[in-house]
Structure 1
């Protein structure tokens, strides 16, 4: 459903959000509705509308024309709201239980009206607080396999694949990713942000020519390999989770890119938890890392065998080559994510919320070392167990 709205952008208020909810007939016109702005992100307003009598809820999300962390001096395209809604719809064709339902959209106001997920918890917050999400790796592994296979040349007629690649062109947000993940953290630029105690470690990265060459190769892959429709920002803050349910949200960075990118970003954000945990608690996260890949590879293989349109699908060794490349790419992209979330512009609460300064700095040095090793050793990573071993060797 598309809303009828003004032709120019205008920021919603809580009162305007209530009126908007009534226009799409999501509630009875006589219903008593309340609204609160619950967004804590950097790029959007998020309004939760609730009917007092029934407790029925929905979410109205509106894209901001700039990044809050910078302000109006860093303008952002509002087209990303349309991209986000359309990625949710497309991915929902393959994994409807793993993404929120989209009820309505409006391109002019950069609005998406969607299913409320407040009965779940943001996975990052839950993991930091020691919550267990037993379905997390199973569900994300399946999400990755289904969405990436079905939007790739392996699952689509080439005409449809190229049509979708054009539809989901997202140059403005891709440029943010290019800069913040693949460029800025590897050079001495003003957008980088880190504690003084990390100065030497940051300079070591900037002066590591071998590392920079490998990051340049990964950036080239990101820029040029339009393999599948990615989420584009698949971290634990973009996932709602509970004991028996998982939902992937916020694909506004969605575009056609290398399959290993989504896989790598999710694994990296689990790796942060392996850095901050010890003993059995750490092993729980390691098990999630291993299972994510195992479910992805198993489901991708089944789809390849039963639904692939690839002419060479029966060629001995080709599937193994494809999965091997995805894993190597994912390991490298995970390394870039670890480094950029430690000394780049946008950090993660997994590390920044640690109050003990010495411990926080130690963990961040470990994240930088882990990131470097993953980037440099990605081509030798033949299995997910190899990735786990690299992490073990990098522990300080």
Structure 2
């Protein structure tokens, strides 16, 4: 918990104005004046305060981490140091992929406060766009670009083991948010927990079946072990469709406060798994004017294109940098095209399987664990919602248990269609 002498104080709208006045980098972004500021608090209520600050000559976002989970209160303390990891990850990912990561203008560690670019309208949270049935033609291309660059350049395919270990050590400090993920993704849904909930009574038996499925428990144990032990790359750590803001032309990845060195498949799986959830929720949003069938096809196309474009871009980066500093596959051993191709094929096959497993785990926790998704929650008819959730849950269980049998994303999409038919 915070103490008064560490310099931390939660800001309200008035003290925020004073703070901006005293901070040259923020003041400059607002054109040097704080008259006629419009300030709006837009935090989603879970973890942080988020203020949009708009002046006649400029705008920015201020995000402040609180020393507890905001939606639960002081009974669930939470390190405000997460703001440091968020700012550090935003800067690191921003250097690697500036087109898809908002710029950080200012970071104040004692105040757990980040000042960054305001993603002005018409940017909206991707999840809301998916619920509304909006197509984003560049989404797959942009997300493949973001994931391939951030994951490749922070892995041993590009860095030396010395540099990698230094970076891993720095992000090891984000242990509390990792523990939160370990609990809510890999543990709670598989046992009786006060935090779990589901669409009751419709899914009572389904939730119980998850807790009694020994094969599922074996698989989730492997995934948890990989999440805790495998420092593969600097991952976002919470890359769901609520962490992406979009327009028709722009895709921006926000909120990497869960960032640490972990398995690449956790990011890829989180994004793909949330698209699959959006797919299964569409039936609950269909109406007489729009059966959502064409939109469901677009989501499936996006899932397929995201992985295929990621694969292509990631391997292209690998080929471009095969003589670079990366120490995973040393050139004297792996520079022969035949062996390099063998290595790449195996690496990407394993990465697909990891991604499918983590994606499935993320889907399961959103249906029978804590913190559900608006895709389903906004379906007001509980029996209809449960029907959509059950299809998604059954698919996720199959995917986790049988992920190694899939050799391509096209096979995964066919399996989704089968469950949906």
The separation in 2 between residues aligned to 1:250 and 1:123, in whole angstroms, is: 13
The separation in 1 between residues aligned to 2:176 and 2:120, in whole angstroms, is: 30
Aligned position for 1:133: 136
What's the secondary structure of 1:275's corresponding residue? helix
Aligned position for 1:77: 79
Aligned position for 1:106: 108
Change (3 A) 1:313 1:392: farther
Say which is worse superposed, 186-195 or 221-230, in terms of deviation: 186-195
Q: Does 1:38 align with 2:63?
A: no
Q: Does 1:339 align with 2:364?
A: yes
The separation in 2 between residues aligned to 1:66 and 1:118, in whole angstroms, is: 29
The separation in 1 between residues aligned to 2:342 and 2:165, in whole angstroms, is: 26
Aligned position for 1:394: 419
CA shift for structure 1 position 97: 1.0
The separation in 2 between residues aligned to 1:112 and 1:239, in whole angstroms, is: 18
Change (3 A) 1:68 1:355: same
Change (3 A) 1:80 1:313: farther
Aligned position for 2:168: 165
1:268 to 245, 270, 273: 273
Counting only pairs closer than 5 Å after superposition, residues 173-192 of structure 1 correspond to structure 2 as 173-192=177-196
Q: Does 1:237 align with 2:245?
A: no
RMSD: 1.5
Aligned position for 1:293: 307
The separation in 1 between residues aligned to 2:68 and 2:392, in whole angstroms, is: 29
Say which is worse superposed, 169-178 or 24-33, in terms of deviation: 24-33
Say which is worse superposed, 224-233 or 40-49, in terms of deviation: 40-49
Length-normalised TM-score, structure 2 = 0.90
What's the secondary structure of 1:303's corresponding residue? helix
CA shift for structure 1 position 65: 1.2
Work out the number of aligned pairs and report it.
390
CA shift for structure 1 position 158: 1.1
The separation in 2 between residues aligned to 1:68 and 1:6, in whole angstroms, is: 22
2:135/2:295 contact within 8 Å kept = no
Change (3 A) 1:66 1:313: farther
The separation in 1 between residues aligned to 2:33 and 2:231, in whole angstroms, is: 46
Aligned position for 2:286: none
Q: Does 1:283 align with 2:297?
A: yes
Aligned position for 1:218: 223
CA shift for structure 1 position 176: 0.4
Aligned position for 2:289: none
Aligned position for 1:57: 59
CA shift for structure 1 position 325: 0.8
2:45/2:71 contact within 8 Å kept = no
CA shift for structure 1 position 6: 7.7
1:153 to 153, 156, 160: 156
The separation in 1 between residues aligned to 2:45 and 2:125, in whole angstroms, is: 12
Length-normalised TM-score, structure 1 = 0.95
Q: Does 1:258 align with 2:272?
A: no
1:373/1:394 contact within 8 Å kept = no
Any gaps of 5 or more consecutive residues in structure 1?
Answer: none
CA shift for structure 1 position 279: 2.0
* 1:281-328 per-position Cα deviation (integer Å, ceiling 9, x unaligned): 101000110111011100100011011333154324101111111100
